[in-house]
Amino acid sequence: MGMLALALMMATGCEKSTESPSSEPDTILNALALSNTEAQDAFTAVEELGDAALESRDNGSCPTITSTAPKGSFPNTVTIDFGSGCLSPSGRYHAGKIIIEQSDSMHHAGAVRTTSFTNFYVDSLVMKNGTITLKNEEIDEEGNLTFTRQVSNLAMTSPRGTLVTNALHTRTQVKGGGTPNRHDDAWKITGESQCTVDEEVKFSTLIKDALVLRGDCPFIVAGLEEVTRNGRTVLVNYGDGTCDRIARGTLENGDHIVIVLNRRN
């Protein structure tokens, strides 16, 4: 089925923990769980690229960074142009453009960043149409931040299919807000999303137990996320806090899949 090819291509690997054959609905849910995991990875990669661009000056190499205001001045519109493509320091492939409109420093409560794309690639995934809007909702006494992230009609396409996402998530910093070192940061993420695959398969996701990100690990390290289609679910478990690239999905019939996560940028 063509609608499954995108999800299976996006995942680095997948295997069943049992030898029993799955029904077609189970296979679809497996694929959707993989799709959503890689989509969230792509969103996080984009935000980190935006952070880096707003803190850096253009050096004329890939990517080329231009802005409508001097570094540190707002409002500002920044264009990150990877041209025909290059590798990031972490080894991920990027091409095309990211356009960022930002009202204020994202360390200030009320600041809003809206990101759009022109044929932008994260590895083999191209992002176009739609927007990602990030808002700083508050800062606590220790300097920890709370953001909302709204994804609106964002299309992510591979040569084998398209995933369109609408989502609203809250990201709460629980550690590291008082230091400039990102390696001691920790975040919890809650929220939900609605998606379609190739304009045919509709599904939703709901974070049941907050997902955990750490600054010293390139993968989600903990949390539970439920993927639902036609009343059937897969529960994706990201682990117990250990820094590894493995998530595990459990089907309603007790069968399991293993999801190998991509590194965040």
pTM of the model: 0.76
> Does residue 223 surpass a pLDDT of 90?
yes
The stretch 62-86 carries a mean pLDDT of 90
Domain ranges, ordered by start, for the chain: 2-55+130-260
The per-residue pLDDT for range 139-170, each reduced to its tens digit, is 888 888 999 999 999 988 876 678 888 999 99
Measured between alpha carbons, how far is 166 from 262 in angstroms, rounded to an integer? Answer: 21
What's the angle, vertex CA 151, arms to CA 112 and CA 252, rounded to 5?
140
Confidence of residue 60 (pLDDT cuts 50, 70, 90): low
The stretch 94-120 carries a mean pLDDT of 93
